[in-house]
Amino acid sequence: MKFGNGANYWIVEGDDFDVSRGAAKAVTIDMNENRTLKFDPARSAFIIIDMQNYFCSPLLDRPEGALKLVPAITSAIKSSRQLGMRIIWVNWGHRPDTANLPPSLLYGWQRSGRPGIGQPLPDDLGLTLIKDSWSAALTGDLEELREADDYWVDKYRISGFPGSSLDPILRSNGITTLFFAGVNTDQCVMDSVHDAAYLGYDNVLLMDCTATTSPAHVLEGSLHNMRSKAFTALSTSLTAAAASFV
């Protein structure tokens, strides 16, 4: 069955989803729930959200869950490059004066007792999530994977879309399908997935490339809420597709 119009459409046959829009060099991956997805790598992007020192570094006593994602994210980046997909790093990176941030965000960030956005971190680690600061930098080995033609997007809200260059970059590159990774699954990743769905993108959440510090029931509810906004798969699905891609 075809959903959409003459240029922008899906073809769905049972558990097999074709979002390639007739591309000549489409690939097919296995997804969760015994589904398959056929997509066009040339019109796809791998988006990595908030894998920054602030959220991942043991210097800030962060749980190790985020750092445990690095091998799977690394594999997905390499597979995405082999397939010809764009790599997009989406991270908090604020103005030093935080002039573009509303009071609600500034208050919500600080009310837990942690340093607010733009305020000093302990142990001379710099200002919190200010662009080009230590806390805003990619964590560990991920910085070494960043290449010159990757896109870097500074974000200013929980979602990566409001007020950022993300949507214009995607549209100017003709991107229609997005693969998501990063932290936290139930916050910045989920809100970005929701906004992407509202903007008309096809979305795939790579489950082994996302994590959260929230309780299990919160994650379960978030995944439930994303079911109508994104497919789910593992990084190994991209690995398998890249291995056979010519």
**pLDDT tens digit string along 151-172?**
999 999 999 999 999 999 999 9
Domain region containing 61: 42-93+136-234
pLDDT surpassing 90 at residue 183 = yes
pLDDT surpassing 80 at residue 232 = yes
Q: With respect to residue 130, please indicate whether it lies within any of the assigned structural domains.
A: no
- The domain that holds 211 is classified in CATH as 3.40.50.850
Q: How many residues does the structure list for the chain?
A: 246
What is the percent of the chain with per-residue pLDDT over 70, rounded to a whole number? 100
pLDDT surpassing 80 at residue 113 = no
Q: With respect to residue 9, please indicate whether it lies within any of the assigned structural domains.
A: no
Q: With respect to residue 11, please indicate whether it lies within any of the assigned structural domains.
A: no
Q: With respect to residue 2, please indicate whether it lies within any of the assigned structural domains.
A: no
User: Is the Cβ–Cβ distance between 47 and 230 less than 8 Å?
Assistant: no
Q: What is the pLDDT of residue 219?
A: 81
Q: What is the pLDDT of residue 140?
A: 82
Q: What is the pLDDT of residue 5?
A: 94
Q: With respect to residue 23, please indicate whether it lies within any of the assigned structural domains.
A: no
Q: With respect to residue 58, please indicate whether it lies within any of the assigned structural domains.
A: yes
Q: What is the pLDDT of residue 214?
A: 81
State how many domains the chain has: 1
Could you give the strand order of the β-sheet that contains 202-211, starting from the edge strand earlier in sequence?
Answer: 151-155, 86-92, 44-49, 177-183, 202-211, 231-233
pLDDT confidence bin for 69, thresholds 50/70/90: very high
H helices of 146-186, in order, are 166-172
Query: CB within 8 A of 169, min separation 6: which ones?
Result: 88, 151, 153, 175
pLDDT confidence bin for 245, thresholds 50/70/90: confident
Q: With respect to residue 73, please indicate whether it lies within any of the assigned structural domains.
A: yes
Q: With respect to residue 125, please indicate whether it lies within any of the assigned structural domains.
A: no
